[in-house]
């Protein structure tokens, strides 16, 4: 499962404390578990606290001597491989097989596939997670056999697959579709022999020969891997560009029309590539791709923690509504030419019968529908799904909320792993006071100046995401200050913080970095910073679609990676 690992802690909520060894995970911590493992995407290192006002091991300045706050710069840590042979993800494999075989009733061919291990990289399509070991070899073999059987099980299925009725014609046409380029002469000869062998092994008949060719091609590296071969720092070939563009924006192989365009030289200019990309971005499949991007970036499908099983408000119906309302919000931002600005500041969201009471909306709609959420909410991070998934029973989980913004919106590297229990609220004590007291002892430089400052902005929302004016009978305090890279800024609460984030160079650079990582399927490191920062400037005024176009037009997308210098 892509969702965070179940920690099995059922008795006490925990908090982060930057006191010990730092873990290595880009995944979302278990809600209610204080986000253990929120520490970046590569490597492990030790952290300590600074006792004399200097920077601690995390690079965060202590406040002891100077009383100042130091920004956490964009995290450029990573270990890219710069592979020239990118294995298809399970999803890309399935969509490609369905498309090249023209299957009318798409089966779930990858149901038993081993999933990529989430949490070690920002996204599960990262090159470092895509390999072929014994388990993957078996998965691909079994699924290829099943796919071939479906494609040749009847004359109707064969006719849908290809109009070619000769061995030579079938190998040539299907081979181009499977390998995403024309076959070489030697390849044609080889697969014609495979066709003949199929008839020899299973009986004379076109279906038997075609079935064995399909099985062989679907297990070939030419199908399983998307290649970027040739001289380093040279432009990708037209066929390589067609594949790279289609697998990123549509999560599937290039169709016949795109392969024809590549053959005709219609992808040779940046303008032509842009025109094709714009068409793809209007395809419903692009919306699904961007849904997956935002799902993994902001953890839209987080599970309810087992320790909250006794909270009556948390039902399966509510969980389904939380997830679907989030998906629809990001679908709308993408399809309606919105960008990060809208993610952070839109007051429009989706509300259904289970969410309406948490928003205070009466009467509740009978199904999910778009609503204006009122002046007290701004952007996705002030909506119930984010707040509830980062709640702690009925209380806000300030640490989780702060860390989610620090990593997902600002790309900071947050030291964490040591966890301590959160005690019950004391008499005349607010949640803010409780968390501050716990983190001041050893995690002050990171917590007080960064994580807590962001998390406390949401103190006017309880663990269910409902608005509140008091906490334990005392007024809530949502004020804070945060050291952005462009300077320390004070805010009165989450709404003002969202406005600051929407105009922050740091936030837009982070969003561009995440999109680039997802598109290029690798870690983004310091050598990429100039390009990413340029994209970040564009993000300040461009939609998600336009940001994708800017990325596609850049050499980072169109040129073969030279690898490590």
CA–CA separation, 9 vs 30, rounded Å? Answer: 10
Domains of the chain, residue spans? 85-227
Strands 470-471 and 391-392: unpaired
Query: Phi, psi (5° rounding) for residue 551?
Result: -65, -45
Q: Which of 3, 289, 292 is nearest to 119 (CA)?
A: 3
Distance CA 99, CA 210 (A): 16
Length of the chain: 565
Which residue, among 390, 353, 386, 393, has the nearest Cα to 369 in the 3D structure? 353
Tokens 């989030």 found at: 326
Q: How many angstroms separate the CA atoms of 402 and 435, rounded?
A: 12
Q: Which of 270, 219, 266, 226 is nearest to 248 (CA)?
A: 226
Cβ(401)–Cβ(461) under 8 Å? no
pLDDT of amino acid 424: 87
- Closest CA relative to residue 91, chosen from 252, 214, 215: 252
Chain center to CA of 335: 18
CA 162 – CA 151 distance, rounded (Å): 10
Closest by CA to 383, choosing from 414, 407, 361, is: 361
Backbone angles phi, psi at 306, to 5 degrees: -60, -30
If residue 534 lies in a helix (H) or strand (E), which one and from where to where? helix 529-539
> d(Cα 403, Cα 416) in Å, to the nearest integer?
10
Q: Is the peptide bond before 226 cis (omega within 30 degrees of 0)?
A: no
Task: Report CA-CA distances (Å) from 261 to 241, 242, 276, 308, 496.
Answer: 11, 9, 10, 54, 49
Cα–Cα dist 50/59, whole Å: 10
**Cross-strand bridge partners of residue 482:** 489
According to the 3-state scheme, what is the secondary structure of 465-508?
CCECCEECCEECCCCEEEEECCEEEEECCHHHHHHHHHCCHHHH
Rounded Cα distance, 365 and 349, in Å: 13
Indicate if the alpha-carbon torsion angle 486, 489, 494, 500 is positive or negative: negative
Q: Tell me, what DSSP letter sits at residue 28? A: P
Contact (CB, 8 A) for 402 and 455: yes
Specify whether the CB–CB gap between 329 and 349 falls below 8 A. yes
- Give Cα 338 distance to the centre of its chain: 18
- Per-residue pLDDT at 413: 76
Other beta carbons less than 10 A from residue 477's beta carbon:
17
What is residue 20's DSSP assignment? S
pLDDT in tens, 181-214: 999 999 999 999 999 999 999 988 999 999 999 9
**Residues in the chain where the model's pLDDT stays below 50:** 1-67, 417, 565
130 burial (CB, 10 Å; 0-12 / 13-18 / 19+) is buried
């Amino acid at each position: 499962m892509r969702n965070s690992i179940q920690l099995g802690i059922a008795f006490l909520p925990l908090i982060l404390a930057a006191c010990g060894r730092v873990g290595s995970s880009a995944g979302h911590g278990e809600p209610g578990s204080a986000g253990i493992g929120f520490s970046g995407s590569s490597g492990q290192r030790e952290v300590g606290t600074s006792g004399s006002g200097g920077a601690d091991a995390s690079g965060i300045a202590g406040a002891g001597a100077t009383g100042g706050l130091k920004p956490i710069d964009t995290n450029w840590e990573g270990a890219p491989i710069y592979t020239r042979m990118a294995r298809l993800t399970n999803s890309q494999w399935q969509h490609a097989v369905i498309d090249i075989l023209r299957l009318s009733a798409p089966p779930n061919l990858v149901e038993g596939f081993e999933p990529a291990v989430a949490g070690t990289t920002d996204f599960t399509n990262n090159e470092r997670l895509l390999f072929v070991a014994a388990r993957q070899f078996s998965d691909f073999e079994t699924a290829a056999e099943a796919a071939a059987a479906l494609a040749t099980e009847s004359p109707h299925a064969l006719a849908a697959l290809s109009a070619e009725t000769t061995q030579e014609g079938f190998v040539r046409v299907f081979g181009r579709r499977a390998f995403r380029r024309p076959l070489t002469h030697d390849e044609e000869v080889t697969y014609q022999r495979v066709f003949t062998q199929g008839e020899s092994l299973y009986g004379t008949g076109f279906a038997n020969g075609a079935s064995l060719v399909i099985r062989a091609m679907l297990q070939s590296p030419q199908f399983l891997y998307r290649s970027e071969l040739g001289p380093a720092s040279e432009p990708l070939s037209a066929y390589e560009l067609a594949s790279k563009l289609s697998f990123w924006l549509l999560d599937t192989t290039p169709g016949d029309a795109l392969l024809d365009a590549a053959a005709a030289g219609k992808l040779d200019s940046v303008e032509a590539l842009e025109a094709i990309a714009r068409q793809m971005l209007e395809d419903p499949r692009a919306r699904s791709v961007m849904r997956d991007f935002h799902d993994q970036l902001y953890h839209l499908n987080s599970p309810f923690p087992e320790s909250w099983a006794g909270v009556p408000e948390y039902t399966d119906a509510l969980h389904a509504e939380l997830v679907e309302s989030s998906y629809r919000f990001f679908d709308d931002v993408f399809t309606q030419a919105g960008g990060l600005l809208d993610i952070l500041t839109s007051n429009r969201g989706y509300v259904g019968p289970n969410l309406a009471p948490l928003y205070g909306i009466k009467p509740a709609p009978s199904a999910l529908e778009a609503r204006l959420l009122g002046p007290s909410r701004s952007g996705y991070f002030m909506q119930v799904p984010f707040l509830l998934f980062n709640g702690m029973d009925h209380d806000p989980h300030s640490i989780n909320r702060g860390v989610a913004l620090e990593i997902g919106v600002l790309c900071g590297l947050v030291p964490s792993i040591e966890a301590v229990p959160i005690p019950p609220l004391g008499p005349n004590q607010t949640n803010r006071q409780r968390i501050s007291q716990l983190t001041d002892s050893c995690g002050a430089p990171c917590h007080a100046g960064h994580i807590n400052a962001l998390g406390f902005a949401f103190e006017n929302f309880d663990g269910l995401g409902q608005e509140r004016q008091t906490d334990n009978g005392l007024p809530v305090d949502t004020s804070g200050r945060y050291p952005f890279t462009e300077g320390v800024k004070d805010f009165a609460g989450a709404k003002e913080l969202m406005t600051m984030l929407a105009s922050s160079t740091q936030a837009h650079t982070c969003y561009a970095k995440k999109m680039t990582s997802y598109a290029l399927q690798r870690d983004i490191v310091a050598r990429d910073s100039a390009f990413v920062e340029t994209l970040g400037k564009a993000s300040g005024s461009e939609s998600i679609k336009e940001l994708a176009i800017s990325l596609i037009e850049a050499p980072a997308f169109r040129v073969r990676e030279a690898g490590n210098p």
